[in-house]
Amino acid sequence: MTSILAAGLVGSAVVLLVAVWLVRVYNRLVRMRNQVDASWSQIDVQLTRRHDLIPSLVETVKGYASHERGTLDAVVAARGTAITHTGGDAGRADAENALSRALGRLVALAEAYPQLRASENFAALQSDLATTEDKIAYSRQFMTYAVQQYNTAIETFPTNLVAGLLGYQRRELFAATESDRGVITVGF
């Protein structure tokens, strides 16, 4: 009787240990799968941020260059008209006034939007973009690590038995596409 009781206790202990082991393996696999999903989500967040920053960066450069170009072109044109004007004093005065107005806009531009300020704005956007690119790179590295850990767990014995029974599938490592490997050009 005691040996039957002892065998029953040992059998119950083995079943309990196997059950505890299965629960731990299952919970570990769930945590790892969720970490892979969270890693991709973080990459997606950073990619969205990059997509939001790029148009702002491009528009800032275009706006600054366009504004500067327009003001300088106006000054150059007004100066050219003032120098080459041959239509009398009244016409010349008008041409000089036009040049003064253009120079006033240039001075106002320099006071209101000094180059340092404009370049700080551009530098801030550029810095945000560089930071975002660094975060994307880090997130991709973390995802690669999380996927590697997950794939290793579901492919190694004895965890692979539980993973196979529960339908856990291998996840693909992040790989850059051919277009990602190419040189990026931004036109203005």
Q: Which two tokens stand for residue 20?
A: 């505890």
22, 162 Cβ separation under 8 angstroms? yes
pLDDT of residue 121: 67
Say what the pLDDT of residue 157 is.
Answer: 94
Reported pTM:
0.62
Instruction: Supply the pLDDT for residue 186.
Output: 38
pLDDT for res 56: 72
Which residues does the chain have with pLDDT short of 50? 109-110, 116, 179-180, 183-188
Please report the pLDDT score of residue 110 as a whole number.
47
Q: What is the pLDDT of residue 169?
A: 93
Give dist(CA 98, CA 85) in Å, integer. 12
Sign of CA dihedral 70, 120, 109, 56: positive
